[in-house]
Structure 1
Amino acid sequence: MRSRSVHQAALDVLMRVEPDDKCRATDALLADWRAGVLPAVPAGNDTEAVREAGRPPRPELVPPQQVPLRKAGSVEGHAALLHAIAHIEFNAINLALDCVHRFRALPADFHDGWLVVAAEEAYHFRLVRERLRSLGFDYGDFPAHNGLWEMACKTADDPLARMALVPRVLEARGLDATPPIMAKLRAIGDRDSVAVLEIILRDEIGHVALGDRWFRILCAERGLEPEATYLKLIDAFDAPRPRPPLHVEARRAAGFSEAELAGFGAKAPSVTRPQ
């Protein structure tokens, strides 16, 4: 009997609905892969793209402009802020699993990287959900939008576009947004959530760097100049261009070049001249 592939196993976890079940299954998937139980199948992207990943009935999904804005100073606003982060992390599990399921023609190193990302995103989700529960709320208690997953659907036919527009655009925006969120949480005395965001920021630099690495590999295989191609894909898919303020150090660590950062409006690094 033929063994189930890592791609089939990733699809099974991707379609799981209950968050705790999905997180446990993601951890087990990585362990099985590392143990050699699940082979990669060197074949084309011959599966239909997943258009709706497994997710619980709540939160209610609404257009981004309909997600209410709340001030973090109130308990409800504090919880809504954490809920938005939890929702991003839950979606990020699905995005990483979809890479493994969908882009099976890519090398085993690609699948290994995104399985690690999926497990780290599951860890992040659990950390943020614990903080949310400490305030008397839970995942699903606030409306959310589906922008991350919608971009996964738009880029389902091309791993180059996926690497450009999910890790290098949408997830990189998280690098920029995290320090201001941490400042808001410090201002209301939530040091425990700040500590969680420090973990998330550290790991997310690695996730964006993984996307950057594979974006550049795929560009090289196709004879494309990466940075010009990146801008063309942003325009072609109507994705948001990076806008200041940027977390320049995090973006630099994730693989963005000085020319790119300058093109996005980032200030050039200061140079200390010898006396």
Structure 2
Amino acid sequence: MFTVLTHQPCEQAGLKALYRTPAIITLVLLLVSVVILVSVTLIQIHKQEVLSPGLKYGIVLDAGSSRTTVYVYQWPAEKENNTGVVSQTFKCSVKGSGISSYGNNPQEAPKAFEDCMGKVKGQVPAHLHGSTRIYLGATAGMRLLRLQNETAAKEVLASIQSYFKAQPFDFRGAQIISGQEEGVYGWITANYLMGNFLEKNLWHMWVHPHGVETTGALDLGGASTQISFVAGEKVGLNTSDIVQVSLYGYMYTLYTHSFQCYGRNEAEKRFLAMLFQ
């Protein structure tokens, strides 16, 4: 009798403890989840405080065959896998034709920039002017001028360089880019704007989109046309039209080709010449 009386309370206590076990486990898991969530949040806040010293700015002048456009960009000081997350904050179209039209009077070329550059100075904080890089890239119009009159092309660039060296920004050069470079830049721009390189996850962190494919780019300019797209695996890397680009920690193998004199303006010239004949 005493044995039964002695063990019955123990058995009941064991059963009660057994019934409470799932509730205890659930409570523990909930507490652990809360701790993890709070920890991650604090880490993200601390990371933003430590790694966000401010914004950086950059200025790019796209000197096309028919016109020049000035762009102002900004991005956080920290990068994502060695590549900045850039956003455009200002755009200004330079009055007049492209810089290649100044082949006969190179010294007049910089005057066209005055209006836009005055506006750009107001877009970038004054204390950052000296550290803000500015770069001019000329495309097919200047490539054609260089073929026709190399001396004139050099004089136009020299005049522009003298002008920008006198500006308060960190001038990094004015040069004629190749058709291949123009094609690559067009492909990067198109896919960047489509969100094919980066997206934000639930933690508001930039990550590479899962399963997203890139898009080919066909750029119809004034004096040339560029086509660029990710090359297939079977394409050999020894061809002159293959370029490798590293963006946000990923390597892309591109096929890019520029068709000189197949832009809109040059096509019109050839069409008019055929009509006159």
| TM superposition score normalised by structure 2 | 0.28
| TM superposition score normalised by structure 1 | 0.28
Of structures 1 and 2, the one with the larger relative CO (CA 8 A, separation 6+) is: 1
The structure carrying a bigger strand percent of its residues is: 2
